[in-house]
Amino acid sequence: MPDPAPRSHELVVRVDAFAPNPGDLAGLRDLPDGAIPGWDGSGVVVAPAADGNGPRVGERVIFLSLDAAGWAEQRAVPHAMTARASTALTAEHLATLPVPATSALRGVRRLGSILGRRILIVGATGAVGRVAVQIAARSGAHVVAVARDADRHRELRRLGASETHRSVESVGGRVHGALDLIGGEQLVAAYGLLDAGGTVIALGHAAGADEMFPYGAFVADPSTANRSITSFFLGAEPDLVPDMTYLAADHDLHVGPLDVRPWAELGDWVAEGGPRSGGRVVFRVDQA
Ligand SMILES: NC(=O)c1ccc[n+]([C@@H]2O[C@H](COP(=O)([O-])OP(=O)(O)OC[C@H]3O[C@@H](n4cnc5c(N)ncnc54)[C@H](OP(=O)(O)O)[C@@H]3O)[C@@H](O)[C@H]2O)c1
């Protein structure tokens, strides 16, 4: 492929590592032949933006751009989607952050002040969920984490969850708000747990299932008034750089086990459907 041709607001990054997201994989079938997939990753700036903004040459960065083109040795990316990163964190750790961790932070923030409040996180073992658990706990919430694999509940408690459950159905009592990464029946059940005025952020849809609400879910009742469900799209979120910078400087954030592979294995991994055994799969770009 030719080297990227940056526009004036774009800098060029030498890509060191990337960690495919579910959305990257889902989008592959719609890409035309010859397109370069990949939303996000980590690397080092090799050419600054011509308009003078953003990180400088030689700086370690994380980046995201839903235009894709990230699974490459170099990519052009807008400076407004590129954040300076700690050099004390590995390229592989940093590569896991841009899309999932930024989404988790923005999703939790949408719930408003959560200090002392009970917050439900559904799909807590995924890349978004585990960061959401940590951020919500730091923010002072009583975190109720839902993950279908009970073997990972102890880990979720170490990350800050106060309660763990295998499904939303077993959660007792109401919650102030919820971040749902699963959809389907879990989203319907999460909505049913909301206090009056509470919100479910329907951020992810890992189950790929329809949502069917029972009669009564929206019927007037003072104890459930003004509840809402809201959709979320990271690509529509403004001013991401300060939050990306915060995450890329955070030495206490646990991203879980990483399965690091050379990027020559990417094609086979994609052809197999992107299998994982617990940790996040990260590809290390070997520069030619
Ligand atoms: N709206 C946005 O802008 C945005 C941004 C980022 C991500 N997302 C979406 O958010 C979701 C999570 O992303 P991610 O990166 O965290 O994905 P991930 O790392 O693959 O995690 C997926 C999570 O979903 C769980 N899961 C999958 N299928 C399930 C099912 N049928 N029932 C119950 N749990 C199930 C997995 O559990 P196990 O660990 O047990 O396998 C895991 O906890 C995806 O749908 C992704 O596309 C949306």
If you measure from the C-alpha of residue 126 to the centroid of ligand 1, how many angstroms do you get, rounded to a whole number? Answer: 5
**190, 178 contact by CB (below 8 A):** yes
Local confidence pLDDT in tens for the 288 residues of the chain: 889 999 999 999 999 999 999 999 999 988 998 899 999 999 999 999 999 999 999 999 999 998 878 899 999 999 999 999 999 999 999 999 999 999 999 999 999 999 999 999 999 999 999 999 999 999 999 999 999 999 999 999 999 999 999 999 999 999 999 999 999 999 999 999 999 999 999 999 999 999 999 999 999 999 999 999 999 999 999 999 999 999 999 999 999 999 999 999 999 999 999 998 878 999 999 877
User: Residue 197 region, left (φ>0) first, then alpha (ψ -120 to 50), else beta?
Assistant: left
Alpha-carbon gap, residue 156 to 133, rounded angstroms = 8
What confidence score (pLDDT) does residue 68 get? Answer: 72
What confidence score (pLDDT) does residue 255 get? Answer: 97
State the DSSP string of 148-186. S-GGGHHHHHHHT-SEEESSGGG--S-EEEEEESS-THH
Q: What is the pTM of this model?
A: 0.97
Alpha-carbon gap, residue 23 to 33, rounded angstroms = 18
What confidence score (pLDDT) does residue 80 get? Answer: 96
With the most atoms of ligand 1 within 8 angstroms of its CB, the residue from 146, 182, 230, 243 to mutate is 182
Q: Sign of torsion, CA 72 22 139 278?
A: negative
Alpha-carbon gap, residue 5 to 257, rounded angstroms = 35
**248, 89 contact by CB (below 8 A):** yes
Using a 10 angstrom Cβ sphere, with 0-12 exposed, 13-18 middle and 19 or more buried, the burial of residue 14 is: middle
189 membership: H or E segment, kind and range: helix 185-192
| Of 94, 69, 74, 96, residue with least CA distance to 11 | 74
If you measure from the C-alpha of residue 99 to the centroid of ligand 1, how many angstroms do you get, rounded to a whole number? Answer: 12
| Of 279, 200, 205, residue with least CA distance to 26 | 205
Q: Which ligand 1 atom minimizes the distance to the CA of 204?
A: 10
Alpha-carbon gap, residue 179 to 122, rounded angstroms = 6
With the most atoms of ligand 1 within 8 angstroms of its CB, the residue from 181, 201, 240, 244 to mutate is 181
Q: What backbone torsions phi and psi does residue 96 show, to the nearest 5 degrees?
A: -85, -5
Alpha-carbon gap, residue 177 to 229, rounded angstroms = 10
Spell out where 170-254 has E strands: 175-180, 194-202, 228-231
Answer whether 160 contacts ligand 1 (Cβ < 6 A): no
Please report, in angstroms and rounded to a whole number, the separation of the first and last CA atoms in the chain: 13
Q: What backbone torsions phi and psi does residue 169 show, to the nearest 5 degrees?
A: -60, -30
Domains of the chain, start order: 10-99+239-284 (3.90.180.10), 111-231 (3.40.50.720)
Answer whether 215 contacts ligand 1 (Cβ < 6 A): no
Q: In the numeric block, which tokens belong to residue 33? A: 């032949």
Answer whether 25 contacts ligand 1 (Cβ < 6 A): no
Answer whether 179 contacts ligand 1 (Cβ < 6 A): no
**b/e 206-235 (16+ beta carbons within 10 angstroms → b):** bbeeeeeeeeeeeeeeeebeebebeebebe
Answer whether 21 contacts ligand 1 (Cβ < 6 A): yes
If you measure from the C-alpha of residue 205 to the centroid of ligand 1, how many angstroms do you get, rounded to a whole number? Answer: 7
